[in-house]
Amino acid sequence: MEEKEQIILGSGNVHIETFSGTVPDPTEFCKETNRMAYISGGATLEYKPSYYTAKDDSGKKSKTVMTEEEVTLKTGIMTFNSQVFKQMCDTARVSEFTGKNKKTYKRVKFGGISNQRREKYVICFHYEDPVDGDLYVMIVGSNQAGFSLAFAKDKETVTDAEFKAEPMDEEGTLIDFYEESGTASQAANPKE
């Protein structure tokens, strides 16, 4: 089957759930019920390897090995609720109460190292393209960048989330990237 080339144009949606130990099928995983929030500014996936090079004193012999890899999925979160804060901050605790005015409130408390949940999440960025096919980028990790909320009179509040990937399987996989390449019958019979 011939490899297609795709122009990726536009943004997508970020979906998130607590990691259960198994990476799900992205086509089943990405649904409205686990959409984290509406995002602003798209998403950026960064892969950064680190290398070490050993060289002899004369400069005639050398050997380079990869020593570590770092993967970060960054996005701007534009819509918020208590669950989004809980997914962005490992010490966030959510409770609900009724105020003296008889209105119901959600309360989110942040901080206190002893309140860490050490949650890992499956995070999937889903880019939809009805012409060339959808793309899915999945990682397992957590937001390790903290957050800031800017309340401005003439601009929406958008906070940056930076999810650091952790190995998702026994092979040490950090990114699971899926691209739609046609229907199952086209894959079996590429001339169709």
Domain range summary for the chain, segments of one domain joined by +: 13-50+69-188
What's the one-letter identity of residue 14? V
For the chain, the helix, strand and coil percentages under 3-state DSSP, each to the nearest 5: 10, 45, 45
> If you average pLDDT over every residue of the chain, what do you get?
91
Question: How wide is the angle at C-alpha 86 spanned by C-alphas 85 and 91, nearest 5°?
Answer: 110
What residues pair up with 76 in beta bridges, in sequence order? 160
Predicted pLDDT at 189: 43
- Tens of pLDDT along 106-131? 999 999 999 999 999 999 999 999 98
Q: Report the distance separating Cα 62 and Cα 54, nearest Å.
A: 5
What residues pair up with 121 in beta bridges, in sequence order? 18, 141
DSSP 8-state class, residue 58: T
Predicted pLDDT at 6: 82
- Tens of pLDDT along 131-175? 889 999 999 999 998 899 999 999 999 999 999 999 999 999 999
Q: Report the distance separating Cα 113 and Cα 107, nearest Å.
A: 18
Cα 98 → chain centroid: 34
- Tens of pLDDT along 48-105? 999 999 999 999 999 999 999 999 999 999 998 999 999 999 999 999 999 999 999 9
What's the one-letter identity of residue 38? Y
